[in-house]
Amino acid sequence: MYEIRKILASDRKRVFEISKDIWEGSDYIPQIFDEWLNDQDGLFLGAFYQNELIGFQKLSFLSKGNAWLEGLRKDQKTSLRGVGQALNSYFMDYLAHQEGIKSIRCASYFDNLASLRLIEKFGYRRVLTRSYKFLDPAEFNYDLRTNFSFTKAKETDLAEIESFLKGRKFFKSCNDLINLSWKIYPYSKELLLNFINQGSLYLARDEGRINFVASLFELRELYLPILEYQDFEQLAAFFKQIVIPRAKNNGNSEIGIFLTEDLNIYNDLQELGFKSYEQDNDFFLFEIPNLNIL
C-alpha cells in the first residue's frame, strides 16, 4: 500500500506540514531535520501513498551496533492506517540484514497509546522507566548568596571524572544508559569526551578533589544528562550560576532531567521548582529482547 523511501531535501515542506500538528506545534522535527537528512549511518524514511508523504520515522545508530528508532509521525488529517506498521516492518527487515546489531531500542511517553500498541506489536519489552522533571527558567527564584566555583572539564580530567562517577547514586541509577533529551545513549568514555569538547561538562572541587560533575545538552530545550552533587546548596548554586543564565541566553523555555524514582534528588529538584507534565514514571524505554524478533 505504501512506498517506503528515503526522505529528501525536497520533502522538507511536507515533513514540516505534518510536524506542525504534533505537540501543539512544538515538535522538534524542524530543528533536527537537516541532521537526520545528512546522517550517513542511519535511515530517515517516509511512507508515501500515491506519491504523497503520509508519515515518516528515523533509524539512528547511537553507537556501533546500537539502533534507535524515533520520530514516528503521521499526517493527523489522513484517515489512512498502518503507517507506523509499514515503516517499522521496513526497519526491522533492514536491521535483520545488518551485522553486529547489539540492541534495538525506542522510547515512548506513558500516554501515547497508539505508539505503545505498535511497540508491543513488534515484540519490544519495557526495560526501564524514568520520570521526566522540568523547570521553567523564568520561574527559578531561589535566593542563594553563596557562590561556588564551577569549571568546564578538560580532557585531562577524564580519568578522574570517571573514577568519581563510579558508584555515585545518579550515575549508578542510569545503568549505563544516559538520556540526551528523550533519546537514550549507551554510556561510553566517548560520550564524556563529547561533553568536554562541547564545553558542556562541568565540575567542582573541594581541596583539589572532584565533588561535583554535571553535563548539559541542548536540543530545543536544555537537559541535564548527568548530575552528581555534594549538597543542596551546591546544586542550587550550579543552577543559579550556570544553568539558568545559559537557558535564558539560549532562549530555552524548559530545563529537563530524567530520574529514577528512588533518588533523593527528587526532593532537591522539587525545592528548585521542578515538576512533572502529568505524573511520575512517564518515560518508557523499550528493547527487542535478545533480538529474537529478527
User: Tell me: the pLDDT tens digits for 176-189?
Assistant: 899 999 999 999 99
> Each residue of 40-82: pLDDT tens digit?
999 999 999 999 999 999 999 999 999 999 999 999 899 999 9
Residue 286 burial by CB count (10 A; 0-12/13-18/19+): exposed, middle or buried?
Answer: buried
For residues 79 and 161, state if they share a domain: no
pLDDT averaged over the chain? 92
Q: Which domain holds residue 8?
A: 3-101
Highest mean pLDDT, choosing among 110-114, 116-120, 133-137, 143-147: 133-137
CATH code (residue 79): 3.40.630.30
Q: Is residue 290 part of a domain?
A: no
pLDDT of 266 > 60? The answer is yes
HSE on the CB side for 211, CA within 13 Å? 13
pLDDT for 104 equals 96
The number of domains in the chain is 2
Q: Is residue 278 part of a domain?
A: no
pLDDT of 292 > 60? The answer is no
pLDDT for 293 equals 46
The helix, strand and coil proportions of the chain, stated in percent and rounded to the nearest 5, come to 35, 30, 35
- Helices 29-37 and 12-19 cross at an angle (nearest 10°) of 150
Q: Is residue 255 part of a domain?
A: yes
pTM of the prediction? 0.89
For residues 63 and 160, state if they share a domain: no
pLDDT for 147 equals 80
